[in-house]
Amino acid sequence: MASQLSECPGTAAPDPVAADPTRPWSAVTKIAFRWCFLYFGLFCVLFAQITFAFFGIVGQWLPEQAVMWQMTVLGPALTWVGREVFGAEAVLHPDSGSGDQAAIWVLVFCLLVVAAVGTAVWTLVDRQRPDYARLSAWFLTFVRLCVAGQMLFYGFAKLVPTQMPTPPPSALLRSYGDLSPTSVLWLQVGSSHPYEMTLGAVEVLAGLLMFLPRTATLGTLLGLASMAQVFLLNMTFDVPVKILSGHLLLMSLVLLAPQLRRLLDLFVLQRPSEPVSQPALFSSERANRRAATVQAALGLWILIGCAWSSWQAWHAYGGGHAKPELYGIWSVREFSVDGRPLPPLTTDQTRWQRLVFEKDGALTYQRMNGELVNTAATISSDTIKATEPGGATLADLKVSRPSAQQLQLTGTLHGRPVQITLDQVDLDRFTLRNRGFHWVQEYPFFK
């Protein structure tokens, strides 16, 4: 994506005359504007979740797949293009959560083609127009509000730390070498809520500043720096949000392009510069003030929606969610099958090494070779019923608690009678959880 998008004409410095309303734009500036208007305008309208952010708190009551309605409508066409042009089955997976699906890459390709053809036609039929000053003002405002909405959306997901939650108990048992790059990043950020919340606060601040015309340039600069880091992380840790983060980065550059000369004068060349301001939407000062008020109100509306959504997520699956009664890691002390105890041999495929409870409706058991297996389960205070992926019964166990730190399970496993005795593991014995922060360190601690 980077090779395709980095060639966007709109990210180049515009012709100086484009900033002067009394002089016509150069041909290059007009072509660059037409292309960016078509490509980024269509991207903002068609890409899932960008326009969804504008629903604010109302989005909580829309159907679950409302955020994907554009993609769902375009799905058959994208599948056809993927098959006929690229020879690939570009099928949209609404339940995936990935923003880098083949169907979405095909969408990007289609937008590039539409923008290229549209720019050529537009240039032929409208080549006599001296400039697009007024249309440019509206376009840049639209793009700015779209980027600002996404900054609030992702910022609150970190400010209320739900995007990268605290590493769950099962993650403490996984070998580092078995983790994907994305998991490494997620667990690293989730291990420090102050760090994650700071990242989110910067994105939220950038988004809020971008909703106010007077501070929009400052917000865009701050958002550009934040999104550059996000895009770099997505590219280097294989996070499947490369398309969206890359476009948010490019759109930030498009927003700053008309002011590049002024910014260079101020920050690089150290010479006097005209005020850095957003383009006026109307010729009347009164109308522009009203427009600024509407933008600020829209920002407040989206802020409330993002804050409410993040707060609900915190209580639904984040740190504010009530933990299961058996939450934690339980180490197997004794394991008997058919009345005979099984020794803890790493080659044994039946015996469990540990049992992990971290969310409702599921459990994780660790085999003797260290493999962690997730399975659906119905868990109550006195029974555990686990099922295989195909629906067959894996285990039907009765639960007893000889003490708060002990668990006794009796019943059947794969249809065979079992009796399992487990001891609760103190999660704070893991270095990741107990190391904490130290001002003074005589030697680095790399355990």
Please report the pLDDT score of residue 13 as a whole number.
37
Residue 4 in this model has a pLDDT that exceeds 60: no
Residue 370 in this model has a pLDDT that exceeds 60: yes
* CA–CA dist 81, 90 (Å, integer): 8
* CA–CA dist 109, 97 (Å, integer): 20
* CA–CA dist 112, 253 (Å, integer): 18
Cβ-proximal residues to 385 (8 Å cutoff; 6+ apart), any chain: 377, 378, 379, 393, 395, 396, 397
Instruction: Read off the pLDDT of each residue in 123-138 and give the average, rounded to a whole number.
Output: 94
Which own/partner pairs from 78-84 qualify as long-range (CB within 8 Å, at least 24 positions apart)?
78/103, 78/106, 78/107, 78/110, 79/103, 81/106, 81/109, 81/110, 82/106
pTM above 0.85, yes or no: yes
Please report the pLDDT score of residue 276 as a whole number.
77
CATH of domain 328-431: 2.40.128.20
Residue 278 in this model has a pLDDT that exceeds 60: yes
Residue 19 in this model has a pLDDT that exceeds 80: no
Instruction: Read off the pLDDT of each residue in 213-219 and give the average, rounded to a whole number.
Output: 95
**Domain coordinates in residue numbering, the chain:** 2-316, 328-431
Inter-CA distances, 399 with 22, 334, 377, 382, 428, Å: 81, 15, 14, 5, 25
> Where would I find the beta strands (DSSP E) of 338-404?
340-341, 352-357, 362-367, 372-379, 383-387, 393-400
* CA–CA dist 275, 288 (Å, integer): 17
Please report the pLDDT score of residue 14 as a whole number.
40
Phi-psi label, residue 351: left if phi above 0, alpha if psi -120 to 50, beta otherwise: beta
Residue 303 in this model has a pLDDT that exceeds 50: yes
Q: Which of 33-42, 56-65, 172-181, 346-355 has the lowest mean pLDDT?
A: 56-65
* CA–CA dist 160, 365 (Å, integer): 30
* CA–CA dist 423, 426 (Å, integer): 10
What average pLDDT does the structure give for the chain?
Answer: 92
Please report the pLDDT score of residue 89 as a whole number.
92
* CA–CA dist 444, 391 (Å, integer): 49
Instruction: Read off the pLDDT of each residue in 158-177 and give the average, rounded to a whole number.
Output: 95
Instruction: Read off the pLDDT of each residue in 232-254 and give the average, rounded to a whole number.
Output: 97
Cα 358 versus chain centre, distance:
23
Structure tokens at 167: 């590493």
Residue 171 in this model has a pLDDT that exceeds 90: yes
User: Which position has the token pair 């609900």?
Assistant: 312
User: Which position has the token pair 């085999």?
Assistant: 367
Residue 195 in this model has a pLDDT that exceeds 60: yes
Higher-pLDDT residue of 366, 17 = 366
Instruction: Read off the pLDDT of each residue in 94-101 and give the average, rounded to a whole number.
Output: 91
Of the pLDDT bands very low, low, confident and very high (cuts 50, 70, 90), residue 15 is very low
- Is there a contact between 40 and 251 (Cβ–Cβ < 8 Å)? yes
Please report the pLDDT score of residue 390 as a whole number.
82
Please give the DSSP secondary-structure letter assigned to residue 63: -
Instruction: Read off the pLDDT of each residue in 397-422 and give the average, rounded to a whole number.
Output: 96
Amino acid at 394: L
Phi-psi label, residue 328: left if phi above 0, alpha if psi -120 to 50, beta otherwise: left
- Is there a contact between 358 and 168 (Cβ–Cβ < 8 Å)? yes
Of the pLDDT bands very low, low, confident and very high (cuts 50, 70, 90), residue 48 is confident
Of the pLDDT bands very low, low, confident and very high (cuts 50, 70, 90), residue 272 is confident
Residue 407 in this model has a pLDDT that exceeds 60: yes
Of the pLDDT bands very low, low, confident and very high (cuts 50, 70, 90), residue 400 is very high
Please report the pLDDT score of residue 22 as a whole number.
52
